[in-house]
Structure 1
Amino acid sequence: MSIKIKDQPFYIQATAILFGLILLVYVLNILADILVPLAFAAFLAILLNPLCNRLQRKGVPKFLSIIIAMLIMIIAVTLVFYFLSTQIVQFGDAMPMLQKKFESITAELKNWIQTTFGVAVTKQEQMIKDALNNSQAVVGRTLNGVLGVLSVVFLLPVYIFLMLFYKTLILNFLYEVFAEENSKKVSEVLSETKTAIQSYIVGLLIEMIIVAAMNSTALVLLGVKYGILIGCIGAILNLIPYLGGIIAIALPVLMATVTKDGYSTQLGVIAAYIVIQFIDNNILVPRIVSSKVQINALMSIIVVLLGNQLWGISGMFLSIPFVAVIKIVFDRIEPLKPWGKLLGDNIPTQQMVDIWRNRRKRRAVLPKREDSI
């Protein structure tokens, strides 16, 4: 005799769901080195798929169309890294001067803290040393994340090529693994997932270019050294929703503090970045990025933090498109629709909440009236 979970009491259902989530997170964490490259490859393969299809419609063989699409992607990425590397070389030449200036500012800050708060310089140095010792695990985790990203870069071309080459095999599996009566829903989920991921990645790239241009222009006008490099790095960090923008502000402020006297430049940088962030969050993101990936801000922050905890830097980048796919699936399954609405950005009015509450009350009262008849 089979026992269905949905027929069990709530505490048994909740325990089973919690155990399943814990097991899922454990597997995702253990297999991170395998799953992270596959996830990046899947998203990029979906992005390159329209170009491959267009080339094949023009008579280019499937194998060659995939190679051409991947070469175009590799050339574009190489040009970006070449541009950044030229800026980094210039930054490296000035490192001794910047280090000397930073040490001078640090010494002045320590003396100011000793004079203002009565904390001896030796005690401050000991506190900094203790903080660095306690943060070794965090640094190690960050380095592991960077190494993980490098491993992803080397594995990506192979995975992307194979996913595009075996695309029909994968799609056929997804159709056959579900019941025939659900084929329409499967088709809708696949179509919306493809559109959402393509729109999201293309939107992110457009947003990154615009933000990089605004950042670099503002920093160059303010006279911040290496403004183009810092502006581009800030645009890349801005790809991390909500949290990356905060980190991006700290870099030009620190550079202005090290290379310039006074605080007028720092205030100008903060003001410029606030304006840029306002334009980005209220104009660029809603119109370019979030048109297909409708995840509310609260859930975006939570999933980004959870992604960082699970897969580090890679998890932060993958979290939003991954949750967007989950939302598309939830919206197609009746029992999971409330979870899809929780992830979305369509906020119900108080009137709708009251209507649902009254319906619940009527359903709870109705059996009692039937018993009394």
Structure 2
Amino acid sequence: MFDYIRNWFQRRFSDPNTITLTILLVIGFSLIVFWGNILAPFLVAAVFAYLLEWPVSGLRRLGIRRTIAAMVVFIAFITLMLLLTIFLVPVVWEQSFNLIRELPQIAQAWDDLMDQAQEYAPAFIEPQQIQAFTETITNRLLSFGETLLAQSVTSLVNVFTILIYVIIVPLLVFFMLKDKDILLEHFNRILPAQRRLISQVGWEMNVQTRNYIRGKALEIVIVGVVTYIVLTLFGLRYAALMATLVGFSVLIPYIGAAVVTVPLALVGLFQFGISGTLFWLITAYLIIQALDGNLLVPLLFSEAVSLHPVYIIAAVLVFGAFWGFWGVFFAIPLASLVKAVITAFSEQRQLQEQEEEKRESAAEAEVAGK
């Protein structure tokens, strides 16, 4: 058994490129696991830098110097963030607190719905089951409201941390955009000479991450705006809050859309009751989700590495358990990284086997010649 493991290790890690890639992966994951909280501002800045590199590159193609292009894009980005902070955030904040105050009424509306269901189908629905299910829903809603209030208080306590992010992240974004080539050159200096596999995996991950971040940003905006317009047309009271939840739900593939359906349906039930308006509201929401999954996602992520839905859900669960929100956000790129590493190792093994076959053929030809 020991000889088998030793032979396997020698076959897999006899090439310096494989060793350097393995060491880099171990160091990278170790830094994130142990110093993830410290490195969080750098991760946030890297996300925005990837997002803003697109317009910077466009200005560069027009002949504008990188420093000037970075400044123009950065100023436009800061202006947009300020506008969102002034106009969108207060509305979402106010609607959130209004929704929290009305959670008991929403729970009562659900209770009434269950009573009506029991009246219509007494033979199929037992009162004890309805009562237990209703108590569970009510407790969940009330605990959800308490959690939001606690988080709000905690956020107020951590104002200093928020201010640090507000100052540090924009500075990091600006310097990452302005000095991108210099930073990449510095990073390349510390890499070993034997880095063919690192370059291969790095190129694939750069394409994947860039496409993912840009695509997700556009998807959030498009889905959020379309949802807000539709909900406003229906006259839903918490249109801005629900549209924001629906927009950010696309960060969690498959799971997010299912989860955000519950608060949207409960708010619609509370406002419209069991009516045709509620039916058409949910139908319109499902149409938005269908168009997002079958039309918008294929258009935005045309360059993305295809991953099976089972692998995507597994990546969301695993990396989300490890690193919380950022694990969920980077679930698809991280899953693509795993795929790229496995592909690189497989190709390296095939190259080694081909080289061994060539050496054996050369040796056999030499023996036959003698």
Note whether the superposition's TM-score is higher than 0.5.
yes
> Which residue in 2 is equivalent to 1:12?
none
Does residue 1:171 correspond to 2:184, yes or no?
A: yes
State which of 183, 206, 211 in structure 1 corresponds to 2:223.
211
> Which residue in 2 is equivalent to 1:344?
none
Partner amino acid, structure 1, of 2:181 = T
Partner amino acid, structure 1, of 2:228 = S
> Which residue in 2 is equivalent to 1:49?
53
> Which residue in 1 is equivalent to 2:333?
321
1:330-356 Cα offsets, whole Å, 9 max, x none, are 434436899xxxxxxxxxxxxxxxxxx
Gaps of 5+ in 1: 9-19, 339-373
Gaps of 5+ in 2: 1-5, 13-23, 120-125, 351-370
Does residue 1:158 correspond to 2:162, yes or no?
A: no
Does residue 1:230 correspond to 2:234, yes or no?
A: no
* Gap change, CA 1:251 and 1:287, over 3 Å in 2: same
* Gap change, CA 1:88 and 1:180, over 3 Å in 2: closer
> Which residue in 2 is equivalent to 1:117?
127
2-structure distance, mates of 1:73, 1:143: 29
State which of 259, 267, 280 in structure 1 corresponds to 2:279.
267
> Which residue in 1 is equivalent to 2:323?
311
2-structure distance, mates of 1:4, 1:141: 50
Asked whether the 8 Å contact 1:305–1:316 carries over to 2, the reply is: yes
Q: Judge which range, 221-230 or 298-307, deviates more.
A: 221-230
Report sequence identity in percent: 22
Per-residue deviation, 1:225: 2.4
State which of 83, 91, 95 in structure 2 corresponds to 1:79.
83
After superposition, residues 55-70 of structure 1 pair within 5 angstroms as 65-70=69-74
> Which residue in 1 is equivalent to 2:367?
none
1:201-254 Cα offsets, whole Å, 9 max, x none, are 222232223322432343234342233442233112222211111122223211
Per-residue deviation, 1:309: 1.0
1:12-52 Cα offsets, whole Å, 9 max, x none, are xxxxxxxx999987763432212333223223223333544
1:273-312 Cα offsets, whole Å, 9 max, x none, are 2222221111111221253242221111111112221121
2-structure distance, mates of 1:186, 1:300: 24
Q: Judge which range, 299-308 or 89-98, deviates more.
A: 89-98
1:138-177 Cα offsets, whole Å, 9 max, x none, are 9989998999998755542233234345533442344444
Q: Judge which range, 201-210 or 190-199, deviates more.
A: 190-199
Does residue 1:36 correspond to 2:40, yes or no?
A: yes
Asked whether the 8 Å contact 2:272–2:278 carries over to 1, the reply is: no
> Which residue in 1 is equivalent to 2:18?
none
State which of 98, 101, 117 in structure 1 corresponds to 2:105.
101
2-structure distance, mates of 1:127, 1:96: 15
1-structure distance, mates of 2:224, 2:58: 30
2-structure distance, mates of 1:137, 1:167: 41
Greater relative contact order (CA < 8 Å, ≥ 6 in sequence): 2
> Which residue in 2 is equivalent to 1:252?
264
RMSD of aligned C-alpha atoms?
A: 4.9
* Gap change, CA 1:283 and 1:133, over 3 Å in 2: closer
TM-score by length of 1: 0.66
* Gap change, CA 1:256 and 1:327, over 3 Å in 2: same
Asked whether the 8 Å contact 1:66–1:164 carries over to 2, the reply is: yes
The secondary structure found in structure 2 opposite 1:45 is helix
The secondary structure found in structure 2 opposite 1:224 is coil
The secondary structure found in structure 1 opposite 2:334 is helix
Does residue 1:283 correspond to 2:288, yes or no?
A: no
Partner amino acid, structure 2, of 1:44 = F
After superposition, residues 293-304 of structure 1 pair within 5 angstroms as 293-304=305-316
Asked whether the 8 Å contact 1:56–1:62 carries over to 2, the reply is: yes
* Gap change, CA 1:43 and 1:106, over 3 Å in 2: closer
The secondary structure found in structure 1 opposite 2:316 is helix
Partner amino acid, structure 1, of 2:246 = G
* Gap change, CA 1:156 and 1:45, over 3 Å in 2: same
Asked whether the 8 Å contact 1:240–1:317 carries over to 2, the reply is: yes
Asked whether the 8 Å contact 2:216–2:251 carries over to 1, the reply is: yes
* Gap change, CA 1:3 and 1:327, over 3 Å in 2: closer
> Which residue in 2 is equivalent to 1:5?
9
Asked whether the 8 Å contact 1:211–1:276 carries over to 2, the reply is: yes
The secondary structure found in structure 2 opposite 1:31 is helix
1-structure distance, mates of 2:303, 2:202: 18
TM-score by length of 2: 0.66
* Gap change, CA 1:144 and 1:316, over 3 Å in 2: farther
Partner amino acid, structure 2, of 1:69 = V
Asked whether the 8 Å contact 2:106–2:266 carries over to 1, the reply is: no
